[in-house]
A and B are shown apart, each in its own frame.
Chain A
């Protein structure tokens, strides 16, 4: 069964195609003029020009330090657990390993590796971190010459992450402990 679609018949001018040709010439000329003379480009020349990224952009996850320069991560391994593509690998210090670099912090990761080839920038690690130690920052072009280069270790992650001021749980705990010492105890 054939279906007949009722279309409006073209007028004489429309059938000549000429108005359409003139219209096309005008549109293309306008665009060429705005690009060539007015330099109104819609594209960016990428490596030289870059976007201004919003603060909440989800780029590569890096470890951050607090305002006093100490590692925030306490090696709780929650991020490693939650990471969907298993990109994070944390080596905890163990019972005999190095303790934290400051008082009242529980521990520090012995090694912290993120495989940037596996990372899917989901932001679960940032969401789950109880210490606000890992953040998805604004790096989006991760490059390297071989696979090994894409595995970022702790030093690299810390140096790339920079400082993120915020709550300092360990300091708070220290103050709490000091307050405990002078707590007026009624005998």
Chain B
């Protein structure tokens, strides 16, 4: 533990957190824009700081793209009245948003978002138990939501909290089971070595497509996205667990949801789509030059953004599942399927080594 290590770690931390937060802000914009396109609309295209109209060409273009909308949204959340309803359990009411955000941000720590940049490995914590750590942290995320539902002391948030606890625990099981074949094939829990394995042997999605499918669906459920957004379910529960929240506390739940989307996309890219590698252009091995390192990071970010778009796109495809259907899907379809997948993979590995 030397000074250099601490400095580089802090820099990486600041950059990654900054990038993730920026991604969150702009994925809200992407969500609004893509939703608009799918619904034959235009989407946000007006918001701009007043001086933007004096900037030729670029100013109007950025305004049309809605590039300043996230700034306005953020400002709105900061300036809104932070209202605490009379009947809430105050301590938990204040604690819940923090508990929702912290796990969402922590998961990014173990994800290798690039190979090397100079002498630095582009991962904040190269844990040997990377996947276990992620699952451990992700399962903490449910506390924020459940606590929010409980603390609000109102029936809709309560229902939302209950639904979310059941849903997230159920799908976490399928999610964990779905990753086991990956670990069996690679033989390591370290995310960097999983990527290294994929660089030489090809992406894991070709080896275990069923794992990927189950992981994808389970991550939709874990991030409370449609078609599994039962904890929020505007049409049924007003706003679900965050009904009673306003201002920045509400924004934190929002932030948590989108950070979860970012980290699940990153996990999917890492586990199944080769992380920062591409099978061509010489991007399949750790970069030796600075430019190569940047290229690796860009590959990772582009893959991740593709998954973010998928998350947003899927939102407009399906109606919400009914609660019993959700449970049926989680426990009676995906769990046996995941177990079967483990068995098949084990058999395959056994046959191959014989």
Contact = CB atoms under 8 A, between A and B. Distances in A.
Interface of A: 20-21, 24-25, 27-28, 31-32, 34-36, 40-43, 45
B34 A20 contact: no
Given A41-B42, A43-B42, A45-B42, A36 B37 contact: yes
B330 to A, nearest CB: 13
Nearest to A15: B333
Contacts of B351: none
A24 B318 contact: yes
Contact of B317 (A25, A40, A41): A25
B41 A42 contact: yes
Contacts of B40: 31, 34-35, 40-43
Interface residues of B, number: 13
Nearest to B325: A17
Interface in B296-335: 313, 316-318
Interface string B274-299: 00000000000000000000000000
B39 interface: yes
A47 B68 CA distance: 20
Given A24-B318, A35-B36, A42-B41, 12 more contacts: A21-B317, A21-B318, A25-B317, A27-B317, A28-B38, A31-B40, A34-B40, A36-B37, A41-B40, A41-B41, A41-B42, A45-B45
Interface of B: 34, 36-42, 45, 313, 316-318
A11 B40 CA distance: 33
A158 to B, nearest CB: 35
A128 B36 CA distance: 46
21 contacts: A21-B318, A24-B318, A25-B313, A27-B317, A28-B38, A28-B313, A28-B316, A31-B37, A31-B40, A32-B38, A34-B40, A35-B36, A35-B37, A35-B41, A36-B37, A40-B40, A41-B41, A41-B42, A42-B40, A42-B41, A45-B45
Contacts of A41: 40-42
A31 B38 contact: yes
B29 to A, nearest CB: 16
Nearest to A26: B317
A24 B316 CA distance: 8
A28 B318 CA distance: 10
Nearest to B314: A24
A66 B318 CA distance: 60
A125 to B, nearest CB: 37
A66 B45 CA distance: 44
Nearest to A22: B317
A21 B255 CA distance: 28
Contacts of A27: 317
Given A20-B318, A24-B318, A32-B34, A43 B41 contact: yes
B216 to A, nearest CB: 11
A6 to B, nearest CB: 19
B229 to A, nearest CB: 16
A20 B317 CA distance: 9
Nearest to A40: B40
A182 to B, nearest CB: 69
Nearest to B45: A45
Contacts of A28: 38, 313, 316-317
A31 B39 CA distance: 7
A24 B42 contact: no
